[in-house]
């Protein structure tokens, strides 16, 4: 059911965020509540599911149903919920450490399964909550107290992985562009299947260099496509700071093709009796 005239504050809880002043996640929260107001579904029709990390505090700051899960498991929780309750709008939230390291395998298979939900990863290329370790998306030469001289490791490329694994909607935004983030989140939720949005969200405490992102992000010069081959070609020229929707696929969502999801347990138990 759609409710007219919903406002972002209708989706905001009375819990005060504990993020550091200037953290990009404040802007992501604003974009999410604006997008939800625009989508027009009441808070009780929406579930916000997260893992562990600074960004994963988001469920507490919204007025929707929420679940602050365990490390790397936001997608498995969210997929189970969406399959059991297809009537809900389900958003899964994560950070780059939580989502691409511990949750990396879940990411691959969530893209492949194509359950109809939206996955938003606040990527700051660092483990913020545990005080600044390099994450899977950290640049190889990022020099810090915990990685002197840099890790020398090639970063994980979330958009490449999402596209290659079968995500049905792939986009990147910058947290400081609230209008762009809001629009892309609305599009991601409305698109059937598994939608992935990477939001570059600076960690001002452990990566103060990321304050420069506002001067470095730029709209992609190539329009979005529904052709995975064209999307792959565009990704190959990606400098990591391109923003906008990259790919909007046509695969049918998982739940639409599954019959008899709720089977009887007793016959199954009997089949496994020894
Ligand atoms: Fe944000 Fe970084 Fe502070 Fe965490 S440590 S709240 S990511 S600025
Ligand atoms: Mg992080």
Q: Give the model confidence (pLDDT) of 36-71 as tens digits.
A: 999 999 999 999 999 999 999 999 999 999 999 999
pTM, whole model, 2 decimals?
A: 0.94
Q: Give the mean pLDDT of the chain.
A: 95
Atom 1, ligand 1: residue with shortest CA distance: 23
* Ligand number with the minimum distance to the CA of 20: 1
Would you say residue 120 has pLDDT above 90? Answer: yes
**Rounded (10°) CA dihedral 137, 141, 143, 146:** 50
Residue 215 exposed, middle or buried by CB count within 10 Å (0-12, 13-18, 19+): exposed
pLDDT of residue 274: 85
Domains of the chain (ranges plus CATH)? Answer: 11-271 (3.40.50.970)
Split at pLDDT 50, 70, 90, the class of 268 is confident
Give the residue from 88, 90, 104 showing the smallest Cα distance to 59: 90
Task: Report residue 38 as tokens.
Answer: 């625009």
* Ligand number with the minimum distance to the CA of 21: 1
150-195 pLDDT, tens digit per residue, is 999 999 999 999 999 999 999 999 999 999 999 999 999 999 999 9
Atom of ligand 1 lying closest to residue 131 CA: 5
Split at pLDDT 50, 70, 90, the class of 261 is low
């Amino acid at each position: 059911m759609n409710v007219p005239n919903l406002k972002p504050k209708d989706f905001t809880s009375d819990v005060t965020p504990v993020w550091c002043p200037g953290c990009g996640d404040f802007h992501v929260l604003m974009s999410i509540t604006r997008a939800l107001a625009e989508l027009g579904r009441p808070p009780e029709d929406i579930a916000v599911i997260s893992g562990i990390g600074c960004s994963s505090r988001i469920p507490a700051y919204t007025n929707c149903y929420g679940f602050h899960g365990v490390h790397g498991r936001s997608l498995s929780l969210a997929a189970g919920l969406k399959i059991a309750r297809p009537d809900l709008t389900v958003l899964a939230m994560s950070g780059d450490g939580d989502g691409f390291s511990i949750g990396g395998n879940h990411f691959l298979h969530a893209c492949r399964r194509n359950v109809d939900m939206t996955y938003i990863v606040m990527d700051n290329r660092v483990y913020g909550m545990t005080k600044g370790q390099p994450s899977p998306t950290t640049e190889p030469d990022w020099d810090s107290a915990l990685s002197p001289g840099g890790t020398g490791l090639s970063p994980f490329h979330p958009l490449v992985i999402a596209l290659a694994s079968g995500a049905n909607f792939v986009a990147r935004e910058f947290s400081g562009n609230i209008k762009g983030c809001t629009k892309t989140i609305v599009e991601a939720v409305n698109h059937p299947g598994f939608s992935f949005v990477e939001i570059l969200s600076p960690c001002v405490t452990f990566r103060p260099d990321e304050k420069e992102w506002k001067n470095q992000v730029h709209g992609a010069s190539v329009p979005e496509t529904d052709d995975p081959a064209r999307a792959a070609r565009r990704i190959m020229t990606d400098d990591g700071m391109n923003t906008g929707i990259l790919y909007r696929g046509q695969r049918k969502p998982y739940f639409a093709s599954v019959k008899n999801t709720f089977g009887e347990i007793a016959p199954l138990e009997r089949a496994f009796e020894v």
